[in-house]
């Protein structure tokens, strides 16, 4: 964009200003502008899915799935039901519980969502699980991570290199692209993305037939925990505070929360399915 502004500035300069076109290197600036356009081009869904698979592999390299087939099947059933209520039901949705004591949840482009064992252990109902999964599903729906990767690639990869990274899963540029994506999980998304995912997550959970206060209940649990607890460090670093998130939800979604507060919470089923984690 800066290159485009410079081109316009030179084109509109006063007639008495004498410029040496060779010094300006117009061709280089035009090439840069083309690369910026390429870098901001939407990534097609098949490419989004492939990038997400690479990022999911990175996350699984850091923490494996909990070795409990029944638990994984249960979380997948809840997650896929929620995803079917969204505008992207046909993505290859996968959900998993990571063997990690930290309190957190992650989504990658293309439809893979992970939740840590540490977070599940602080939940008390299926509605709470649904609220968190719906929040992560919303990140995928709005392509929050994908857009953040594209934004970062504009400064670290030229447009042509980005296109190469998208199409060649074995290249150096692809490795750099996935590294950019992986950094998001330690740096976090924009606060506006998190607030949007909270709002949309409440709607998706309600569509799925769950008590709409599932996600707020989890946020209240986090709010009551010791902020110095090491298990919360990454969550608090990469997300707005639970207090801010609850305030934003109350301000924008109170009517929805109250309207769908009488839908099921299903605490008994949740307890039965997660009993091995207790």
Phi, psi of 115 (to 5 degrees): -130, 140
Q: Which residues contact 131 (CB under 8 A, 6 or more apart)?
A: 201, 202, 205, 210, 213, 214, 215, 216, 217, 218
Sheet with 105-108: strands ordered across = 94-98, 112-116, 105-108
pTM of whole model > 0.75? yes
pLDDT (tens digit, 9 = 90+) per residue, 46-55? 989 999 998 9
Q: Judge whether 105 and 251 are in contact, CB under 8 Å.
A: no
Structure confidence at residue 67 (pLDDT):
96
Q: How many CB atoms are located within 10 Å of the residue 137 CB?
A: 29
CA–CA separation, 214 and 276 (whole Å): 22
Structure confidence at residue 3 (pLDDT):
36
Structure confidence at residue 115 (pLDDT):
98
CA–CA separation, 70 and 143 (whole Å): 30
Phi, psi of 98 (to 5 degrees): -85, 145
End-to-end CA distance of the chain: 53
Per-position DSSP letters for 150-181, written without gaps between them:
HHHHHHHS-HHHHHHHHH-TTSHHHHHHHHHH
Q: In the chain, which residues have pLDDT < 70?
A: 1-41, 154-174
pLDDT (tens digit, 9 = 90+) per residue, 257-271? 999 999 999 999 999
Phi, psi of 105 (to 5 degrees): -150, 150
């Amino acid at each position: 964009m800066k290159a485009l502004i410079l081109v316009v500035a030179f084109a509109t300069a006063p007639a008495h200003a004498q410029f040496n076109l060779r010094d300006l290197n117009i061709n280089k600036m035009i090439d840069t502008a083309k690369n910026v356009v390429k870098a901001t081009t939407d990534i097609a869904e098949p490419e989004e899915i492939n990038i997400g698979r690479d990022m999911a592999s990175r996350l699984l390299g850091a923490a494996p799935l909990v070795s409990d087939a029944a638990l994984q099947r249960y979380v997948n059933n809840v997650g896929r039901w929620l995803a079917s209520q969204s505008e992207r039901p046909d993505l290859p949705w996968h959900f998993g519980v990571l063997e990690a004591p930290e309190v957190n949840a992650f989504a990658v482009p293309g439809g893979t969502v992970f939740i840590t064992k540490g977070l599940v252990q602080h939940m008390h109902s299926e509605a709470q699980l649904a609220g968190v999964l719906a929040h992560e599903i919303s990140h995928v729906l709005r392509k929050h991570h994908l857009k953040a990767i594209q934004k970062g690639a504009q400064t670290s990869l030229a447009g042509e290199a980005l296109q190469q990274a998208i199409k060649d899963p074995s290249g150096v540029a692809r490795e750099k692209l996935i590294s950019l994506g992986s950094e998001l999980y330690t740096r976090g998304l924009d606060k506006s993305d998190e607030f949007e995912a909270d709002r949309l997550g409440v709607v998706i959970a309600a569509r799925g037939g769950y008590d709409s206060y599932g996600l707020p209940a989890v946020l209240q649990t986090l709010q009551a925990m010791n902020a110095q607890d090491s298990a919360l460090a990454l969550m608090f670093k990469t997300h707005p505070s639970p207090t801010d998130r609850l305030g934003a939800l109350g301000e924008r979604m109170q009517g929805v929360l109250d309207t769908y507060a009488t839908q099921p919470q299903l605490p008994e089923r949740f307890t039965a399915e997660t009993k091995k984690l207790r």
